Every structure is written in C-alpha cells, then in structure tokens.
Amino acid sequence: MRWSSKHSGGNDLWYSGKAKHFDGNVRFIAAPDGMPLWVSEVEPGSVHDLTAARIHALPALYVAARDGLPALADPGYTGAGIGIRTPFRPQPDMPSPLAIDNRTHNRLLRSTRSLGERAAAELKQRWRALQHVTISPTRIGTIAKAALVLNNSWR
C-alpha cells in the first residue's frame, strides 16, 4: 500500500496546499446538540472540502433534506445543493454590508452551527491520536471512526 501516491501534476496527493503540510480530509456529521454522529473515510489532503463532502456526506444529507431536515454548513459549502444551509456572502459589487435580514440570518445560522462544530473540536481534542497522525494517512478514517465510537460510549 503506497501512501505517497502521485497525481498527474507530480505533486503528492496527500499534501494539502491549504494547510501547507501532509494531511487527510475527514468529513463529519453532528447532531444540533454537538454530539458527533458520523465520520467519513479519509480523502487525501489535496481534495477540496466540498468534493470530499459530495463523495461521503452530502448523499445522506440530501435524503434528510427531502424529509424536512436541513443541514447547516459553513460558507465553503455554498452551492452544495438542496437542504444545505449556508451563510449569505456579500457580493463584490455591493458598496455596503449585507442587509439586516441577511446579517440576522447569518448570526442565527452561525450560533446554531457552533453547537455542531463542538463535535469536531471534541473529537480532535479528546483523542490525541487524531491530532498528530504519523502512520499511513489511509488509516486516519479508521482512527476517526474508532474515536467516534469511544466518544459516544463515553457520553
């Protein structure tokens, strides 16, 4: 099993240009109260967040959206599809900030989303194995799933 597979540009697939180091990309779904519910398999660090979400998390969230359960996401998921609620962004041609209704929407969304973000922080801070992974990056997903099981049994 090769962990340093190369893609067509000759760059290492596991190198994240955003983080400037080797990295893996794991998506998670959390309940509104901050309880982590699900983690995905690992994607290489060079895979964009929205692409990783479309592979692993969004198909299940689309089904939930059809049943009336929307998902809250950060601005990086704008355009993710039906049922994915993201904050409004100011348009480049707008001379002033967002309208009061849009700012209120953003505040409500972010305050509710912060409870779900607690799940990621809880997993990463409680389980030190997720902070500094030195084994093959392909095993990060397995470690994250084990941490999810241990975390939920802890609660």
Q: Is the pLDDT at 107 greater than 90, yes or no?
A: yes
45-76 pLDDT per residue, tens: 888 888 888 998 899 899 988 998 889 988 88
Average of per-residue pLDDT values in the chain: 82
Task: Record the tokens describing residue 63, joined without a space.
Answer: 């089904």
User: Which ranges of the chain would DSSP assign to H, the alpha helix?
Assistant: 49-56, 58-66, 100-126, 140-154
Average pLDDT of span 127-132: 80
What tokens appear for 138 in the block?
Answer: 């392909």
For the chain, list the domains and their CATH numbers. Answer: 15-154 (3.30.420)
Separation CA 115–CA 34 (nearest Å): 5
